[in-house]
Amino acid sequence: MPDPIPNRLQPQDLLEGATDRLLMATRLGAASERGTERRLLIGGVAGVLVMLLGTVGYVLVEGASWFDALYMTFVTVSTVGYSEIIPLGTGGRVLNIFVIALGVSTVLYVATVVAEYLLSGELRGIIGQRRMNRQIASMAGHYVVCGYGRTGERVADELRHSSREVVVVDLVPANIERASEKGIPALLGDSGSDEILRQAGIQRAAGMVAAVSPDASVLMAVLSSRALNPDMIIVARADNEESESKLRSAGADRVLSIHRIAGHRLANMVVRPEVAEFLEVVLTDHEVEVEMDMVRLAENSPFNEMTLSETSLIERTSANIVGIRKRGGTVTVLATPGTVLNSTDVLVAIGTRQQLNGLIEMASVSA
């Protein structure tokens, strides 16, 4: 799992600038659409006036009935080439010239506005798609979130808050639109499709989160992702506990059973409300100073085969190391001063961002 990114790398100013540009582009797009609507309205009003002019003119000049005059005007404006149904004198022919000129001009004007609107919308879609494809192609070490429902949206928000790049894959157009509105590259398609996953840059991704439903779709997303990228971390959501073993066999590193986790947290809130509240704040409230993070020791760490007390990591950084994930995958939940560390062990630590960054800096040093 990639090391957390220090605060100094968080592009807050760039994100604010991108948001301003996005808002400006949205306003310009809305103004353009309003301009098109006004032009269509003008064309429609002009068409009605031409029809009224022709109808009233044929009645007054040639003495035609109202229906014959309306039909004559329609045939003339539409240029279908029918013969004149009303015998026209000199005055009627002069009127016909004006009706043809005004009518054809109005029809061409409306057709031009409609074609321009359709073409510009299509071009905007093509340009936007190409821009997004280039953006995804430039990504490496990003995270692919399959499914942008309530769970997937929260996952993407948390990843972006920690300055991770995210690509969303979803089958629902409304979810894709919602992700795009937040500036997240989003692909419409099946998360179990190899082609869609390749477009999302799954082969260069650091991890994938499968938050689709049902579990059969999660299974396909995990299988396809693991086949395309054997080294990345895959986390899957399971609606049914029976699916957990299948998802792990398919290649998921972690499987989250929503109902089991929800039940566990609810029970803790009842039995240990203060502890549950503390963990909730540390893990989810971004406005508090205390955070929890995972820090990996370097490949050839100088702290290899040293006890936690001997490393002086706690004293030198003031971060609290509460757990250690060993190379074999086991976790020492309560790290003691006598716990022996090894290279590539992962330290679970709590502290301020400054303290955690200090721990990250020390842990990344190689002997």
Query: Which string of DSSP letters, residue by residue, matches 133-193?
Result: HHHHHT--S-EEEE--SHHHHHHHHHHHHTT--EEEEES-HHHHHHHHHTT--EEES-TT-
Please answer whether residues 223 and 192 qualify as being in contact, where contact means their C-beta atoms are separated by less than 8 angstroms: yes
3-state class (DSSP) for residue 302: coil
Q: When comparing pLDDT for 105 and 192, which is higher?
A: 192
Instruction: Output the pLDDT for position 58.
Output: 81
- Give the 3-state secondary structure of residue 305: coil
Residue 126 pLDDT: 62
Q: Nearest 5°: phi and psi at 163?
A: 65, 30
pLDDT score for 285: 59
Q: Output the pLDDT for position 138.
A: 92
Residue 168 has pLDDT above 80, yes or no: yes
Mean pLDDT score across all residues of the chain? 80
Question: Using 50, 70 and 90 to split pLDDT, how confident is the model at 25?
Answer: very low
pLDDT interval class at 20 (50, 70, 90): very low
CA of 155: how far to CAs of 177, 235, 261, 295, in Å? 17, 11, 16, 20
Of 19-23, 31-35, 275-279, the poorest mean pLDDT is in 19-23
Q: What letter would DSSP give residue 214?
A: S
Structure tokens that stand for 221 in this block:
């997303």
pLDDT at 51 over 60: yes
What is the fold, at CATH topology level, of the domain defined by 289-363?
A: Alpha-Beta Plaits (3.30.70)
41-50, 129-138, 159-168, 185-194: range with lowest mean pLDDT: 41-50
Predicted pLDDT of residue 14? 37
Write out the residue limits of the CATH 1.10.287.70 domain(s) in the chain.
12-136
Confidence of residue 21 (pLDDT cuts 50, 70, 90): very low
* Residue 227: per-residue pLDDT: 95
Residue-level pLDDT at 234: 95
- What number is the average pLDDT over the span 155-175? 91
Distance in angstroms (rounded) separating the CA atoms of residues 97 and 365: 88
Per-position b or e across 164-193, b if 16+ CB within 10 A of its CB: bbbbbbbbeeebbebbeebebbbbeebbbb
Checking if the pLDDT of 200 tops 90, the result is yes
pLDDT band at 225 (very low <50, low <70, confident <90, very high): very high
**pLDDT at residue 3 tops 90:** no
pLDDT digits (tens, 9 = 90+) for 117-145: 666 655 566 667 788 888 999 999 999 99
Which pLDDT band holds residue 216 (cuts at 50, 70, 90)?
Answer: very high
User: What are the tens digits of pLDDT across the range 248-296?
Assistant: 999 999 898 877 777 766 777 777 777 667 666 656 655 656 777 888 8
Class of domain 139-262: alpha beta
305 phi and psi angles, rounded to 5 deg: 65, 15
- Letter for the amino acid at 312? S
* CA–CA separation, 209 and 230 (whole Å): 15
Q: Are 125 and 132 in contact (CB under 8 A)?
A: no
Residue 147 has pLDDT above 70, yes or no: yes
What's the pTM?
0.54
Long-range pairs for 46-52: beta carbons < 8 A, 24 or more residues apart: 46/102, 46/106, 46/109, 47/77, 47/103, 47/106, 47/107, 47/110, 50/77, 50/99, 50/102, 50/103, 50/106, 51/77
Q: Up-side HSE of residue 183: CA atoms within 13 Å toward CB?
A: 15
The CATH architecture one would assign to domain 12-136 is Orthogonal Bundle (1.10)
Cα-based torsion angle of the residue sequence 240, 244, 247, 249 in order, rounded to the nearest 10 degrees:
-150
pLDDT band at residue 94, thresholds of 50, 70 and 90? confident
Interacting residues of 200 by C-beta distance below 8 A, sequence separation 6+: 136, 144, 167, 169, 187
Assign 15 a pLDDT band (cuts: 50, 70, 90): very low
Looking at the chain, which residues constitute the CATH 3.30.70.1450 domain(s)?
Answer: 289-363
Buried b (16+ CB within 10 A) or exposed e, 281-301: eeeeeeeeeebebebbbbeeb
For the cut 70, the answer to whether the pLDDT of residue 83 exceeds it is no
**What distance in Å separates the CA atoms of residue 250 and residue 349, rounded to the nearest whole number?**
31
* φ, ψ (nearest 5 deg) of residue 228: -85, -25
Spatial CB neighbours of 360, under 8 Å, sequence gap ≥ 6:
3, 4, 6, 293, 295
The mean-pLDDT minimum among 196-200, 230-234, 268-272 falls in 268-272
